[in-house]
Amino acid sequence: MMNEPPCKGCMASVRLTASELERLIAEYGERENEPLATTAEYFRRLSQCGQCSALVYETTCRHSGMLIQYVARLQNKGCPHPDGGKW
């Protein structure tokens, strides 16, 4: 991992490699049997998150504490913004 700031809650890095991210998504999908968002929907969601003032470290949602690249990939998840979801 790069020398990135740790997550305040878990002290882990806030940056994941593509393979680490895919492994986490696959594990969650197997455990929860949750479908993935389409590639187009995933990138639309990431674009919305990228424009949000609640994005911290360019990776993490301030409202949920989740890595946006992770949660945006899960079809049945939504944006947790308190003023209404952005996606």
For the record, the structure tokens of 31 come out as: 């455990």
Contact 32, 74 (CB under 8 A): no
> Can you give the pLDDT at residue 3?
53
The string of pLDDT tens digits covering residues 7-40 is 555 555 667 788 888 888 888 777 878 888 999 9
Amino acid letter for position 81: H
Whether residue 68 is predicted with pLDDT greater than 60 in this model: the reply is yes
